[in-house]
Amino acid sequence: MDEKELRKIIRQDEGLTIEFKRAKNALPGNLFESVTAFLNRNGGHIILGVTDDKKVEGVDPDCVEKLCKEIANLGNNPEKLDPPYIIAPQIVECQGKKLIHFFIPASSQGKISRMCEIYSGLPPKFKDDDVFVAEIPLTDNVPEGEKNGGLNGGLKDGLNETQQKVYQEILKRPGVMIKELSGRLQMPIDTLDKVVSSLRKKELIERRGSKKAGGYWVKGA
């Protein structure tokens, strides 16, 4: 990763695959929550030393090596990540400041979970005996009342991946509010507002209730 590539990532908005965090001289307390979320979803880039609004603050040059070692050590700690995952942080200079970048790939269980959500709307059951097995319930075998979508349950065409994630979350949680959506999807509220607005324009979801207490529903649900 060089400065040019890093600048391209920073120019993008935070979302399901990009996250910025301030880290002047210590690791953010919620860093490994983000790592876990990326492992369980689509993977993504984490950059330390950048604010949510894409301002490059940098990491203290006297602390940057120490923070990289902490990330590598904590990634191998089952109390932080279970199962542990080897993280290889890189120090990259950008605008004359030192940043820490690392890429988290989607784990195999995360990929299986996403496919399961698409095909049946229910999470898979994992078994780890002599052979790793994942049981994926097909929509036809899911009891009525437990179905929450899937291809046969009406997954909407013409939506990008982020829109589908938000749509499915609203389908599973009728009346959900923006703040809760933001926490569950680990998506900045500004980004989420834009996605929700695009789904409303497509007339796929609607808002019900007051400004303070209202939430979002899938239309017709």
pLDDT of residue 31: 92
Domain count of the fold of the chain: 3
Same domain, 36 and 61: yes
Same domain, 162 and 196: yes
Same domain, 97 and 8: yes
Q: Above 60 in pLDDT, residue 46?
A: yes
Q: Alpha carbon of 197 to those of 74, 144, 183, 215: distances in Å?
A: 38, 31, 18, 13
Q: Which residues constitute the domain of residue 212?
A: 156-221
Same domain, 13 and 93: yes
Pairwise CA distance, residues 131 & 114, whole Å: 21
Pairwise CA distance, residues 116 & 127, whole Å: 15
3-state SS, residue 54? coil
Pairwise CA distance, residues 157 & 166, whole Å: 14
- CATH number of residue 85's parent domain: 3.30.950.30
Q: 22 with 49: CB under 8 angstroms?
A: yes
pLDDT in tens, 182-195: 888 888 888 899 99
Angle, in degrees to the nearest 10, between helices 189-201 and 178-185? 110
Same domain, 194 and 180: yes
Q: How long a stretch of residues is the chain?
A: 221
Where residue 146 falls among pLDDT bands split at 50, 70, 90? very low
Mean pLDDT in residue range 190-217: 87
Mean pLDDT in residue range 98-118: 73
Same domain, 47 and 11: yes
Q: Which carries the bigger pLDDT value, residue 3 or residue 112?
A: 3
pLDDT in tens, 49-103: 999 999 999 999 999 999 999 999 998 888 887 777 889 999 999 999 999 999 9
The pTM is what? 0.53
pLDDT of residue 214: 85
**Residue ending a domain, choose from 149, 171, 202:** 149
Q: Look up residue 99 and give its DSSP letter.
A: E
Same domain, 79 and 113: no
**Residue ending a domain, choose from 149, 179, 207:** 149
Q: What residues form DSSP beta bridges with 93?
A: 98
Same domain, 53 and 23: yes
Same domain, 191 and 138: no
- CATH number of residue 206's parent domain: 1.10.10.10
